A and B are shown apart, each in its own frame.
Chain A
C-alpha cells in the first residue's frame, strides 16, 4: 500500500498529465466533433451569460466613450443650429415627404415581411477567435424562442442570404454554425440552370465555399458570377435563400462531377445582425 502511495506521490506529475489528456480525449471521442454534447451544453449555459455580460459591458464602454466626444460635438453644433433653424424649418416639410417615401419603400422591400417564415432578429456578440473553427454567438436564446437547427439568414446586396444554422442554445444566447465552417453542409442549386449540388464550408482559410457533386453536363450552362441558392431538399434550410456567386469552375477529367468555388454574398467578417427563421411557415 505504501509502495503504491509512494509511487503515486513520486509520479503524481506524470499521472496528472496522463489523466488530463485522457479526460480530454474521452470527451473528444465521445462527441466526435459534435457541438451539442451534454457536458458542453451545460458548460455553455453557465459561461454564455458571462460572455454576454462582457459584450454588453464593451458596448457600454464604447457608448460612454462616444458620449464624451458627442457632448463636445453637440455644444459646437448647438451654436450652428441656432443659425440653421430657419433653414431646417423649410426642410421639415421635405422631411415629412421623405418619411412617407421611406415608409413606402420599407413596405416594398420589407425583407423579413416577405419571408415565408417568422424571423427573430439577433446581434452577434462573440466570434470564434482562432482560425481552425468558425462560429458566432448571438444575443438571443431559448427564452426568445430560438430552437436548435433553425436556419439563420441575413440581408446583403438586396438578397436574402443564408448565414448558417443554430447549433447550441442557452437561455439567453445561441451559437451559429456558419456555412463557411468545414462541418456545415447545405443542399444547393444553381438559380438559373437549376443543377443541384452540395455546399461545404472551407473554414477561415478562404473567402469561398465549395459546391460539390454538380453534374458534369452542367459545365456548359454554368458561368462565373451565377447565383447559387438553397434547394430546400431534405434540408433544414428553406428553399431559395441566396448563398453566393460562382467564382471558379473545376472540372478535372478524372472526376465524375464538377466542383465549384462559390463566393458567399455575405461578408462574414463584417456580419453584425442576423435573423433566425422560426420553424414552420407563416
Chain B
C-alpha cells in the first residue's frame, strides 16, 4: 500500500474512533472506566509513520476531540501533537511485539498525557488540575495499558503496516 493511501486510512480510522468514542463506545466500560482509544491509535500510527506525520495526525485528532467535546479548542490538539511527535521518534527504532512494547508505549503515552494535561490545566484553568490525578485517570492509564496489546494486534491485522520498515534496535 502506498504511504499516501496508508495515511488516508489512518486519518479515516482515527476520525471514526474519535467520533464513536463519544457515543457508541461509551457503554463499553471496563471495570467502570474507559481507555483512551484515540491516544492508543496516535501512538501506533505515529510509530508507523514517523515523527513528522505523527504530529500532524496527533494535531488533527486532537482538534477533532476538542470540537466534539467540551474541552477548549487547542487542549487535545496540543496534547496529541506532543504524543504524535515523540512517539513518531520510535519509528524504525523499536519493533512492536505482541505484548511488551504495546504495554510500555501505552504506559509512556498515558504518563505523557497526564503531564501535559497537568501543565495545560495549571496554566489555563487551575480548577481542573485535581481531576488530572483522579482515580478515574489512574483507571484510564490501567485500561490503556490493558487494551494496547489487543488494539495494536487488531491494527496489525489490517496489514497496513510494512513490517520491514520497523526493526529491533
Contact = CB atoms under 8 A, between A and B. Distances in A.
Interface of A: 12-13, 16-17, 20-21, 23-29, 31-35, 37, 39-40, 43-44, 46-48, 50-51, 54-55, 57-58, 125-135, 137, 167-168, 175, 177, 181-183, 203-205
B128 A20 contact: no
Given A55-B24, A125-B23, A133-B70, A20 B136 contact: no
Contact of B19 (A51, A127, A130, A175): A51
Contacts of B85: 17
B73 A37 contact: yes
Contact of A54 (B20, B55, B63, B130): B20
A28 B78 CA distance: 9
B70 A35 contact: yes
B23 A205 contact: no
B6 interface: no
Given A16-B56, A204-B136, A126 B131 contact: no
A205 to B, nearest CB: 4
B26 interface: yes
Interface string B1-42: 000000000000000000111111110000000101000000
Given A129-B22, A203-B131, A205-B136, A23 B36 contact: no
Interface of B: 19-26, 34, 36, 51-52, 55-56, 59, 62-64, 66-75, 77-78, 81-82, 85, 117, 120-121, 124-125, 127-128, 130-132, 134-137, 140
Per DSSP, chain A at the interface is helix
Contact of A130 (B24, B25, B69): B69
Contacts of A130: 36, 69, 71, 140
A51 to B, nearest CB: 6
A93 to B, nearest CB: 41
A32 B25 CA distance: 30
Contacts of A50: 19
B56 A20 contact: yes
Given A26-B74, A28-B74, A182-B128, A13 B36 contact: no
Contacts of A129: 21-22, 25-26, 34, 36, 69
A32 B124 contact: yes
B139 to A, nearest CB: 8
A231 B130 CA distance: 28
Given A16-B56, A129-B34, A204 B134 contact: yes
A114 to B, nearest CB: 31
12 contacts: A31-B72, A33-B72, A47-B64, A55-B23, A129-B36, A130-B36, A132-B128, A132-B137, A134-B70, A181-B70, A204-B134, A205-B134
- By Cβ-Cβ distance, the 9 closest A-B pairs, closest first, are A27-B74, A135-B70, A24-B78, A28-B74, A205-B134, A43-B67, A131-B136, A126-B22, A24-B74
B23 A54 contact: yes
A227 B33 CA distance: 30
A27 B67 contact: no
Given A17-B55, A28-B74, A28-B124, A47 B68 contact: yes
Contacts of A126: 22-23, 26, 68
A204 B128 CA distance: 10
Contacts of B34: 129
A128 B69 contact: yes
Nearest to B38: A129
Contacts of B52: 12-13, 16
A135 B51 CA distance: 32
Contacts of B77: 20, 23-24, 27
Nearest to B60: A20
A168 B120 CA distance: 23
Given A20-B77, A39-B73, A204-B131, A137 B55 contact: no
B70 A167 contact: yes
Given A17-B55, A47-B19, 12 more contacts: A23-B74, A28-B124, A37-B72, A47-B64, A51-B19, A125-B23, A128-B71, A129-B22, A130-B36, A131-B134, A133-B69, A205-B135
